[in-house]
Amino acid sequence: MHLIDPGTAGEHVRRAATLLQSALGASPMAAGRASGRVNLIGEHTDYNQGLCLPLALPHATYAVVAPRGDDQVRAVSTLAPGTYAGDPATAGGWAAYSAGVVWALREEGLDIPGIDMAIASSVPVGAGLSSSAALSCSVAMAIAALVGPIDPEVMLRATMRAEHERAGAPTGGMDQTVALFATPGEALLLDFADGSRTPVTWAPPGLALLVIDTCAPHDLADGQYAARRAGCESAAAALGAASLRQVDEPALAGAAEAWLPLARHVVTENRRVEEFAQAVAAGEWPEVGALMTSSHESLRDDFAVSCDQLDVAVQVALDTGALGARMTGGGFGGSAIALLPEDRVQPAMAAVASAYAGRHWREPRFLRA
Ligand code: ADP
Ligand code: MG
């Protein structure tokens, strides 16, 4: 049981450069970096024109690149076997997020040469910490460093398109926005109604944010996500609103319909994000913790996207002295977060690991945000 170390930029860039040389025989000409992220609060709100508050992690993905004489792409990663080699327009699998960015930047009208690229990363893959956007955005940053400045909004569109159109993973844009626009230790208040992003400094004194990767298998996630999304649309339609963002709590009172719990989560979660940002700014850390825990309860009871591994991680963290804890990400697995006094971090990790071992679940992993 240990904490996943973010490592240093120099160390990761050296690993990637060595891989570029050894696997592809190319010399690195430019490098790019993009952070993973953890969502502090505001879950299942992005597709309801709502609010969320993701925090950039110190854990990041690094890409090194070299130009080629033709228009093809080759890509290698310390975390993927083999080499992708070919036309970036047909890249699939992990190459969709790497080679696919070359395709997407060309689709945006940029003149991008063929590229050889190598990737190294400290972002755990598939843990709900956005390794996919860290990958695509690190490649975009490296290409910008190679060919000259690229408008960040073009990089945002291109990395979203690589993920949607090459990898077939429709996401709301939160992940790429954080990877491209936030520095580690900075949170961004994102408003999906007007597209605004407001930096929020996250530096709780004497407290740590522990990320618990449940490592739970989350096979259910896709179908359940679509069902929740459709449920929210029906709820908004039944209330005569364009989206649940336009609905307030009094408007829900008295409704007995099946969609009520879903709508109640989204409407109260938007309010919690606003209160959370205010409490962070005011340094009211017990209130910050309480809002995290109510967010978890709402996701568990009203939105029904938690699972036993997430609930146990949250409960054990609270029992070990966390000011607050919640699942983060879409649910049915992925990660939980806990806001803890520094001296409770190790006890909480030990208690969660032992609770999982006692239930014969996969061993959880930990990192500090
Ligand atoms: P998350 O973004 O939450 O980690 P996703 O399912 O969205 O999970 O993305 C994970 C996928 O991204 C992996 O299956 C792989 O295709 C790709 N990926 C992410 N990081 C890397 C990496 N360092 N090397 C190779 N592929 C990666
Ligand atoms: Mg992802």
Q: Does residue 294 sit in the same domain as residue 336? A: yes
Residues 193 and 209 in one domain: no
141 and 211 belong to one structural domain? no
Residue 145 has a CB neighbour count (10 Å cut-off) of: 18
Question: Of ligand 1's atoms, which has the minimum distance to the CA of residue 77?
Answer: 24
305 contacts 332 by C-beta, under 8 angstroms: yes
The residues whose Cβ lies within 5 A of ligand 2, an ion, are 132
- Is 175 catalytic? The answer is yes
pLDDT at residue number 221: 64
Q: From CA 43, how far away is CA 244, in angstroms rounded? A: 13
Q: What is the ipTM, given to two decimal places? A: 0.99
> Can you give the pLDDT of all 369 residues of the chain as single tens digits?
789 999 999 999 999 999 999 999 999 999 999 999 999 999 999 999 999 999 999 999 999 999 999 999 999 999 999 999 999 999 999 999 999 999 999 999 999 999 999 999 999 998 999 999 999 999 999 999 999 999 999 999 999 999 999 998 877 788 999 999 998 888 999 999 999 999 999 999 999 999 999 999 876 666 888 899 999 999 999 999 999 999 999 999 877 788 999 999 999 999 999 999 999 999 999 999 999 999 999 999 999 999 999 999 999 999 999 999 999 998 999 999 999 999 999 999 999 999 999 999 999 999 999
Please give the sequence-ordered ranges of beta strands (E in DSSP) within the chain, or none if there are none. 30-39, 51-52, 54-67, 73-77, 80-86, 115-121, 186-191, 196-201, 207-213, 324-328, 335-341, 365-368
Q: Retrieve residue 283's tokens.
A: 């340094």
Q: Which ligand is nearest to the CA of 125?
A: 1
Which of the listed residues 160, 182, 199 is the one where a domain comes to its end?
A: 199
Of 5, 71, 111, 175, the catalytic one is 175
Domain boundary among 199, 229, 254: 199
Establish whether residue 62 lines the binding site of ligand 1, counting it when its CB lies within 6 angstroms of any ligand atom: no
Q: From atom 2 of ligand 1, which residue's Cα is the shortest distance away?
A: 130
Nearest ligand for residue 15 CA? 1
Cα maximum dimension of the chain: 68
Question: What range does the domain containing 151 cover?
Answer: 2-199
Q: Are residues 164 and 220 in the same domain?
A: no
Last residue of a domain, one of 150, 175, 199: 199
pLDDT in tens, 40-55: 999 999 999 999 999 9
Domain at 312, CATH number: 3.30.70.890
Question: What is the CA 132 to chain-centroid distance, rounded?
Answer: 8
Burial classification of residue 81, based on how many CB atoms lie within 10 Å of its CB (0-12 exposed, 13-18 middle, 19 or more buried): exposed
Whole-number pLDDT of residue 219: 66
Ligand 1 pocket, 304 CB below 6 A? no
CB-CB contact of 296 with 269 (8 Å): no
210 and 194, same structural domain?
no
Contacts of residue 44, Cβ cutoff 8 Å, sequence gap at least 6: 228, 232, 265, 266, 269, 299, 303, 305, 330
Query: Given the CA of residue 175, which atom of ligand 1 is nearest to it?
Result: 2
114: domain CATH number is: 3.30.230.10
What is the residue whose two structure tokens read 């400094």?
201
Q: Give dist(CA 66, CA 146) in Å, integer.
A: 8
> In this predicted structure, what is the pLDDT of residue 170?
75
For residue 174, which ligand has an atom nearest its CA?
2
pLDDT digit string, tens, across residues 170-184: 777 889 999 999 988
- The atom of ligand 1 lying closest to the CA of 130 is 2
Does 179 share its domain with 248?
no
Task: Quote the pLDDT of residue 346.
Answer: 97
The phi and psi torsions of 134 (rounded to 5 degrees) equal: -60, -40
pTM (2 d.p.): 0.94
- Considering the domain architecture, whether residues 148 and 250 belong to the same structural domain is answered as no
In the chain, the number of structural domains is 2
Tokens of 173: 């844009």
> What whole-number distance in Å separates Cα of residue 269 and Cα of residue 296?
10
Torsion region of 145: left, alpha or beta (phi above 0 gives left; psi -120 to 50 gives alpha) = alpha
* In a shared domain, residues 223 and 337: yes
User: Which class for 197: exposed (0-12), middle (13-18), buried (19 or more C-beta within 10 A)?
Assistant: middle
